[in-house]
Amino acid sequence: MHNKKVISVIAIFLAALMLATVLLSAIGSGALAASQADIDALEKKREAVRNEKNAVQADINELSGQKKTEMEKKQAIDEQIALTLEEIDIITKQIDIYTQLIDQKSRDLEKAKEQEEEQYESYRMRVRAMEENGNLSYLSLVFKAGSLPQLLTNLDMIGEIISSDKRLFEQYKEAREKTEEIKADYENMAEELKLKETELQEQKAKLDEEVKAAAEIIAGIQADIDEHTAVLNK
């Protein structure tokens, strides 16, 4: 019962300390500029942290197989906890940046949809006019020409009308493609954000395990101290 009580008290203390550390880091992360470059840089930093954690885990495994002091094991776990906190901080910053990027991309998508709608409306109105007039407008320009110069002028006008129609279609097509591109970026970022949130929860769970392991070692050391103190007091 005594050991369980000690473990509980220590675990609560360490958890509170680590929560404060994470909160301070989160406050600082809000100032980051939202860009994919920042996310990539943080990912490289996180990869370095993961490599360090793997090395520390190897040390812990080695210590567990040897008759080392509990304090040596505790020091190794403390280092592991520090690295896990650092990884949590990195993921939190990445989530913050993704959130900002998604917010901006959402606004871009709304703007792109509006532009697409405007281009579609212009093209639709032109198509409706063509359906109502058919090719008579083109033919009338040809047959109404009273001279060769007038005919050539009218043919130029027809070419300009056709070019204008083509531009309207191309503008609508470009607007549509831009909307689809922004939408795809938005959906990809949203998916990346979900993955990061899952990774964050995984690292928090890992941190809980590491804190408990450290607390158990501290409780064991305290139990040994209590035992020796009781012997000395006899």
**pLDDT tens track of the chain, all 234 residues?**
444 444 444 444 455 445 445 444 444 444 445 688 888 888 888 888 888 888 888 877 776 655 457 778 888 888 999 999 999 999 999 999 999 999 999 999 999 999 888 888 887 776 676 656 655 455 555 556 566 566 566 556 656 666 777 787 888 888 889 999 999 999 999 999 999 999 999 999 999 998 998 888 888 877 777 776 766 666
| Per-residue pLDDT at 229 | 72
Q: Would you state the pLDDT for residue 205?
A: 94
- pLDDT recorded at residue 147: 63
Q: What is the pTM of this model?
A: 0.62
CATH number of the domain to which 224 belongs: 1.10.287
DSSP for the chain reads -HHHHHHHHHHHHHHHHHHHHHHHHHHHHTTS---HHHHHHHHHHHHHHHHHHHHHHHHHHHHHTTT--HHHHHHHHHHHHHHHHHHHHHHHHHHHHHHHHHHHHHHHHHHHHHHHHHHHHHHHHHHHHHHHHTTHHHHHHHHT--SHHHHHHHHHHHHHHHHHHHHHHHHHHHHHHHHHHHHHHHHHHHHHHHHHHHHHHHHHHHHHHHHHHHHHHHHHHHHHHHHHHHHHH-
Q: What is the number of domains present in the chain?
A: 1
Give the model's pLDDT for residue 23. Answer: 45
Range(s) of the domain holding residue 121: 2-233
Provide the pLDDT for residue 139.
53
